[in-house]
């Protein structure tokens, strides 16, 4: 997938996408798929997250694993769609946050490594 109109690959914005999963096995499978498919440059798995949320009229308090996904802005919608297809939850969390800055060599690597095939 190429950068959007008026964007050069070297300046395309980077996003961090937050996703939660019910356990380490589900998180690892999801993270590996996103990287293997070129939708993410890197996925960090953070076990030990505790989520308190309202779902279908009830309050839940569950352990989860947080995925911190680094990708190019142009891949966020495709990545979100893929998460929804692979995720065991009926309504998975997918929150994309724009990166305001950082180590330019690292951001360049994210741009190069997140390269989904068309």
Q: Is residue 38 part of a domain?
A: yes
Q: Is residue 58 part of a domain?
A: yes
Q: Is residue 51 part of a domain?
A: yes
Farthest-apart Cα atoms in the chain, separation:
47
Q: Is residue 1 part of a domain?
A: no
CATH code for position 23: 3.30.70.120
**Mean pLDDT across the stretch 3-22?**
77
Q: Is residue 6 part of a domain?
A: no
State how far the Cα of 66 lies from the Cα of 74, in Å rounded to an integer: 22
- What letter would DSSP give residue 81? H
State how far the Cα of 107 lies from the Cα of 70, in Å rounded to an integer: 9
**Mean pLDDT across the stretch 47-60?**
97
Number of domains in the chain: 1
Full domain range(s) for residue 104? 13-113
Please answer whether residues 37 and 75 qualify as being in contact, where contact means their C-beta atoms are separated by less than 8 angstroms: no
Could you report the per-residue pLDDT of 73-105, keeping only the tens digit for each? 999 999 999 999 999 999 999 999 999 999 999
pTM of the model: 0.89
């Amino acid at each position: 997938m190429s950068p959007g109109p008026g964007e050069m690959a070297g300046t395309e914005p980077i996003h961090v996408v937050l996703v939660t999963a019910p356990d380490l096995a589900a998180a690892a499978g999801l993270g590996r798929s996103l990287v293997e498919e070129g939708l993410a440059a890197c996925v960090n798995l953070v076990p030990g997250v505790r989520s308190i949320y309202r779902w279908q009229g009830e309050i839940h308090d569950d352990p989860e694993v947080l995925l911190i996904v680094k990708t190019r802005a142009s891949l966020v919608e495709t990545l979100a769609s893929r998460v929804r297809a692979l995720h065991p939850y009926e309504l998975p969390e997918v929150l994309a946050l724009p990166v305001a800055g950082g180590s330019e060599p690292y951001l360049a690597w994210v741009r190069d490594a997140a390269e989904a095939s068309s």
